[in-house]
Amino acid sequence: FGIHKAVKTIKGKTSRILRQEFHWLTTKLPTLWTNSYFCSTVGGAPLNIVKQYIESQKTSQRK
């Protein structure tokens, strides 16, 4: 069971749920998700280090 199948399943189920709850999505948007996704590993880094890295991305040089 590859990561691509997990991503496809998650996108499919969430799209279905969102369209059932918000009916206007069925007429306004052709799709909710793109076919692409990004996947990366963090090696053996502790969770707090990964979280710190992600949080620092919000305040990076992108302004």
- What is the total count of domains within the chain? 1
Predicted TM-score (pTM) of this structure: 0.61
CATH number at residue 48: 3.30.70.1290
Q: Which domain holds residue 25?
A: 3-57
38 lies in a domain?
yes
Whole-number pLDDT of residue 25: 86
Buried-exposed string 25-58: b where 16+ CB fall within 10 A, e elsewhere: eeeeeeeeeeeeeeeeeeeeeeeeeeeeeeeeee
Q: What is the pLDDT of residues 31-43, one digit of tens each?
A: 889 889 988 888 8
Would you place residue 63 in the very low, low, confident or very high pLDDT band (cuts 50, 70, 90)?
low
Q: Is residue 62 part of a domain?
A: no
Decide if 63 is inside a domain.
no
Q: Give the model's pLDDT for residue 7.
A: 94
